[in-house]
Amino acid sequence: MRLSTKGRFAVNAMIDIALREVLGPVPLTDIASRQQISLSYLEQMFSKLRAKGLVTSTRGPGGGYALGRRIDDITVADIIYAVEDASLKSKQPDAAPAQDMTQDLWDAMNAKLLSFMQSVTLKRLVLDQRVLGGTIEKKPLPNRGVFKKPVQQTIRPNVPNSVFALGQTFRTP
């Protein structure tokens, strides 16, 4: 099993979506700016998350991503497994005799790590963020529909309306 920055970023992005999806689909650009992650990197991760059914996407204006399953059905192991190219199960490499002596140790450690990640749900992580005081900023509604006509300013009659009239105001009689 590999734990990398990619997995960490994916978990953070999923928490971000889970916190904000009640306001509608969450655009990747918003996640990228909040989490300080490259947009192209996020796009690659989210294509993998979408392929595994962890997120759904909505196209067009007001589009973005939402959770693909219930929040308490998504585990950290699901997220890591989706974005990492390798399986979470321990691989049995062709080991040299010296490595065979510690293989049981590494297999046991991987099993414990996998068990722990399967026990942590996205819901638990979101609740932890709320307990820590994480606030969700309300996004302003996009301007849709009929717009109000701008208020036209009145013309001031005592202001010269040309360069020549302006010159007349400076002439002394």
Q: Where are the domains of the chain?
A: 5-90+101-131
CA distance 122 to 73: 8
Nearest to 22 by CA among 72, 71, 78: 71
pTM above 0.75, yes or no: no
| Cβ–Cβ < 8 Å for 83, 45 | yes
142-154, pLDDT tens digit by residue? 555 566 677 776 6
CA distance 112 to 116: 6
Q: Examine the pLDDT at 97 and tell me if it is beyond 50.
A: yes
Roughly how many angstroms between the first and final C-alpha of the chain, as a whole number?
94
Say if residues 105 and 59 touch (Cβ distance below 8 Å). no
pLDDT in tens, 123-168: 999 998 888 876 676 665 555 556 667 777 666 666 666 777 777 7
At 101, the pLDDT band (50, 70, 90 cuts) reads: confident
Query: If you compute the radius of gyration of the chain from its CA atoms, what whole number of angstroms results?
Result: 28
Q: What is the dihedral of CA 24, 27, 30, 35, to 10 degrees?
A: 100
**What one-letter code names the amino acid at 101?**
M
Q: Which CATH number fits domain 5-90+101-131: 2.40.50.140, 1.10.10.10, 3.40.718.10, 3.40.640.10?
A: 1.10.10.10
Determine the Cα–Cα distance for residues 80 and 162; give it in Å rounded to an integer. 70
pLDDT of 22-51, one tens digit each?
888 999 999 998 889 899 999 999 999 999
